[in-house]
Structure 1
Amino acid sequence: MRVMVMKGHERNITRVLFNRDGDLLFSAASDKTPTVWDTETGERLGTYNGHSGSITDMSVSWNSNRLVTASGDCQVKLWKVQTGEELLTYTHSGPVRGAQWAEGGERFATVCDPFVSHNAKIQVFYAPEDADPESLSPTPEVLIEIRNREEKPTKVYWTQFNEDLLVAYENGWVRKYDPKTGEERTGEGSSAKLHEEKINAITWDKQKICFITASNDYRSCLVDAKTLKVLRVYQTDRPVNGAVISPIKDHVLLGGGQEAQSVTTTRGQAGKFETRFFHSIYEEEFGRVKGHFGPITAVDISPDGLAFVSGSFDGYVRLHFFDDDYLFMRDEVPEEY
């Protein structure tokens, strides 16, 4: 397996993200500076300078023209990908945990923490690409206030065809909301408790029929997006910080590791800093990829399924290209099947 190691951040990686074509890789960290890389050469193409707090999430539009970044500085920023120009800043009432583009790239959604007298909020902003940047409004089109302070949203996602907002929470719940009215969905398939602890990330399959979760309760779940029924569970012995579904094989990749505060007192081997490969149907682990010196904090897989990227508490981004042994490997069927 060919690996490119990219060092462009001074602190722990919080997000790694391929664009839709797979030729660009975006990375973010607690060092305030989102970065874009060329996936063919590993060259750093540029940075997006302007935040004063750690970057918690980011999302690139379908055509790779615009980027939104969420930060602990209570701001979301809208950028031109090619030039690094900041188009608009959206000020929030608390640290922002998530930001995601809708399909089509006309709207994006955000979630922010409760702060002082302000409740946690889910917001939807209208930002069409063909609009004059000066005409864009920092006022949300939809605002949902989470009045229960015991429920803290961690991330927000758009379901297939932008039908719902899917919001993950620290208490292990996921809930769906109407992106046009802000009303919480009711009935079967509208909410579910998927984990016992914080949900760190959710990643979709290629068609947005299923999604996979990553949680601090040492588990990752493959979930039906319509019914929120858990289809498969991948059990580990460590917190799971990121999980992705292969678009070409029946495999899922999980990244995690020992809690960050204990990293300095634990050897890499004991800390279990590998990307783990599971068969998505049989739930069996069949491989691991090492290389990081700290917990893996983020993972993504390229749209063509030929490469994956991992980011770690060690500040490094590692881009892995699968070799033929993996790509043409036939999966063994367990005896019980």
Structure 2
Amino acid sequence: MDKKKVAVPLVCHGHSRPVVDLFYSPVTPDGFFLISASKDSTPMLRNGETGDWIGTFEGHKGAVWSCSLDTNALRAASGSADFTAKLWDALTGDELHSFEHKHIVRACAFSEDTHFLLTGGVEKVLRIFDLNRPDAPPREVENSPGSIRTVAWLHSDQTILSSCTDNGGVRLWDVRTGKIVHTLETKSPVTSAEVSQDGRYITTADGTTVKFWDANHYGLVKSYNMPCNMESASLEPKFGNKFIAGGEDMWIHMFDFNTGEEIGCNKGHHGPVHCVRFSPGGESYASGSEDGTIRIWQTGPQNLEEPDSFVSGKVKVVVDEVTRKVEGFHVGKDGKTGNKEKALDG
């Protein structure tokens, strides 16, 4: 990559500790949004297109491991090492409810119909909370073989996907029976699992392998060996012809979906990449890192030596410079939460 002109990302500052999860909302009448989870205990909401900071959700007392937005980007959810999952108003920043757990919450996801919140974590229990009755006890699905790392819904909320921290494979659960109906076998623990926007594929990252599975019949479609341990992978949502992966080498790699050939590689982070996600239209993608920053990259054509298609402005989105804020959003000074008790990393 020496002397090659490569992508210049939008750099989003604001988090004071590693960024460990990212989630894009679908496109809404107000655009699309990006929420980030960090070990600094404060999830942040941004404009998904520009990276502009909108606000910070304040209330957790431990590292936040997972974050999500509902289909309409009206509510946010977060799972934390403080043994809670929290539901937030994404317009005002208000905490709507705190769901108590008995151990660290590592993963959370809204159902497609937005009525339910799914959580999982160190307890090895999947919980389904009815958001129309937030004070009601959740439905509990037990017998996970290990501490839960990722969760997702598929098949119009009829199936739940989960992976574990210490066990290989992805479990597919029937929501009606609470039983495992299939396991996608992997050699290493799956650290990232994403259901494609069209519902056709499940993208998984496990160690040095990225795999694509048929989301309806569960067969293995593609499996590609990676140049290093990859913690996260994401499939381009519009055409499905490329995918990205990020991990321990601090680079964001782009590959051709059909051949597995590496077609691009972007450098900029100063620590391992923990999460990568394509925007809902596929025109850009975001990466979160141990270095505490989020970087938003323009996808551009497959020829990565042409810089003009990438450069969307050498803009560093610094909290102090952001002027587009949602009215009434509760924000600490300079977008940070001030003195909080030290985050529990779990």
What TM-score comes out, normalization by structure 1 length? 0.83
Q: Secondary structure at the match of 1:197?
A: strand
Asked whether the equivalents of residues 264 and 302 of structure 2 are also in contact (C-alpha less than 8 Å), the reply is no
Which of 185, 199, 214 is the aligned partner of 2:190? 199
- Match runs of 1:31-46 below 5 Å: 31-46=40-55
Hey, what does 2:170 align to over in structure 1? Answer: 174
Shift in Å at residue 180 of structure 1? Answer: 3.0
Shift in Å at residue 237 of structure 1? Answer: 2.9
Q: Secondary structure at the match of 1:287?
A: strand
Q: Give the Cα separation in 2 of the matches to 1:159 and 1:6.
A: 31
Cα RMSD over matched residues? 1.8
Structure 1 residue 73 and structure 2 residue 82: aligned?
yes
Hey, what does 1:243 align to over in structure 2? Answer: 233
Structure 1 residue 303 and structure 2 residue 294: aligned?
no
Q: Give the Cα separation in 1 of the matches to 2:141 and 2:33.
A: 33
Hey, what does 1:146 align to over in structure 2? Answer: 143
For residues 157-209 of structure 1, the C-alpha deviation after alignment (integer angstroms, 9 at most, x for no partner) is 11121121111123112112222332332xxxx1231x222211111212111
For residues 230-273 of structure 1, the C-alpha deviation after alignment (integer angstroms, 9 at most, x for no partner) is 1111211322111110023400100111xxxxxxxxxxxxxx21
Q: Secondary structure at the match of 2:218?
A: coil
Hey, what does 1:261 align to over in structure 2? Answer: none
Which of 198, 209, 213 is the aligned partner of 2:204? 213
Which of 271, 284, 292 is the aligned partner of 1:294? 271
Structure 1 residue 25 and structure 2 residue 34: aligned?
yes
Letter of the structure 1 residue corresponding to residue 197 of structure 2: K
Structure 1 unaligned blocks of 5 or more: 115-119, 129-134, 258-271, 330-337
Q: Give the Cα separation in 2 of the matches to 1:196 and 1:122.
A: 23
Aligned length: 294
Hey, what does 2:180 align to over in structure 1? Answer: 184
Q: Give the Cα separation in 2 of the matches to 1:285 and 1:324.
A: 14
Higher relative contact order (CA 8 A, sep 6+): 2
Hey, what does 1:117 align to over in structure 2? Answer: none
Change (3 A) 1:97 1:105: same
Q: Give the Cα separation in 1 of the matches to 2:73 and 2:237.
A: 20
Shift in Å at residue 61 of structure 1? Answer: 0.4
Q: Give the Cα separation in 1 of the matches to 2:178 and 2:195.
A: 22
Q: Give the Cα separation in 2 of the matches to 1:145 and 1:203.
A: 22
Asked whether the equivalents of residues 76 and 96 of structure 1 are also in contact (C-alpha less than 8 Å), the reply is yes
Change (3 A) 1:326 1:61: farther
Shift in Å at residue 2 of structure 1? Answer: 4.6
Letter of the structure 2 residue corresponding to residue 144 of structure 1: V
For residues 269-294 of structure 1, the C-alpha deviation after alignment (integer angstroms, 9 at most, x for no partner) is xxx21111111111121210111011
Q: Give the Cα separation in 1 of the matches to 2:247 and 2:84.
A: 27
Change (3 A) 1:326 1:306: farther
For residues 51-81 of structure 1, the C-alpha deviation after alignment (integer angstroms, 9 at most, x for no partner) is 1111111111000011110111110000000
Change (3 A) 1:192 1:237: same
Asked whether the equivalents of residues 112 and 157 of structure 2 are also in contact (C-alpha less than 8 Å), the reply is yes
Hey, what does 1:164 align to over in structure 2? Answer: 159
Asked whether the equivalents of residues 88 and 138 of structure 1 are also in contact (C-alpha less than 8 Å), the reply is no
- Match runs of 1:53-132 below 5 Å: 53-114=62-123, 120-128=124-132
Q: Give the Cα separation in 1 of the matches to 2:154 and 2:49.
A: 31
Structure 2 unaligned blocks of 5 or more: 1-6, 307-346
Identity of aligned residues (%): 27
Letter of the structure 2 residue corresponding to residue 103 of structure 1: E
Q: Secondary structure at the match of 1:278?
A: strand
Change (3 A) 1:156 1:325: closer
Q: Give the Cα separation in 1 of the matches to 2:224 and 2:243.
A: 9
Q: Secondary structure at the match of 2:191?
A: strand
Q: Secondary structure at the match of 2:269?
A: coil
Shift in Å at residue 86 of structure 1? Answer: 0.5
For residues 133-156 of structure 1, the C-alpha deviation after alignment (integer angstroms, 9 at most, x for no partner) is xx532520x2012275xx222111
Asked whether the equivalents of residues 90 and 138 of structure 1 are also in contact (C-alpha less than 8 Å), the reply is no
